[in-house]
Amino acid sequence: MRKRTLAFGFALALGSITTLFAAPAPVYQYKLKTIDGQPATLSQYKGKVLLLVNVASSCGFTPQYKALEAVYEKYKDRGLVIVGIPANNFANQESGSDQEIKTFCTRKYQVTFPMMSKVSVLGADKTPLYQYLTDKSSDPSFAGDIKWNFTKFLLNREGKPVARFEPATTPDSPQVIAAIEAALGK
């Protein structure tokens, strides 16, 4: 009987250690608000490929909304979710309220992908999600401050960043499409 108890205790301890190492990717822990002000966590997208984009309504890159929507429509049934995250960190190019941003995106670009409430992606008030995405301890190859609106982070189905694309790289560029298809293929 004592051998069984020890074996069971060892198995329990081993299970706890395994659980510790199998913890969910940090990205799933972050909480945001939807553009409608409802609480949201990225954990709702577990198992999906995510393209997180800091967006703005009055930027030279704003027409990328059209390509973002087209890419979302093309790949959403295969598991891609694009998440628009408005930010007003660059030249006051996203100065409107969440409702004004939502109206602009749906009327001008017919956006149907999820949009979050406006956050900061740079500076002392940077939202924790972007602290994680830009920190070298998360992934040194994608680290560094956001340089402008429409920076794109691609995360695989496990919530791990696998690519970062700077604003001038459009969502429908061959590089972005290849990375999305590779992430979806897994």
Radius of gyration of the chain (CA): 19
Residue 91 lies inside a defined structural domain of this protein: yes
Q: What is the CATH number of the domain that holds 72?
A: 3.40.30.10
Q: Can you give the pLDDT of all 186 residues of the chain as single tens digits?
A: 544 444 444 444 444 443 344 455 679 999 999 999 999 999 999 999 999 999 999 999 999 999 999 999 999 999 999 999 999 999 999 999 999 999 999 999 999 999 999 999 999 999 999 999 999 877 778 889 999 999 999 999 999 999 999 999 999 999 999 999 999 996
pTM of the model: 0.86
Asked whether residue 7 is domain-assigned, the answer is no
Catalytic residue status for 105? no
- Report yes or no on 143 lying in a domain: yes
- The residue range of the domain holding 85 is 25-185
CB-facing half-sphere around the CA of 35: CA atoms within 13 A:
23
3 occurs within a structural domain: no
Catalytic residue, from 58, 59, 66, 160: name it: 59
Domain membership of residue 4 (yes or no) is no
- Placement of tokens 């992606």 in the chain: 121
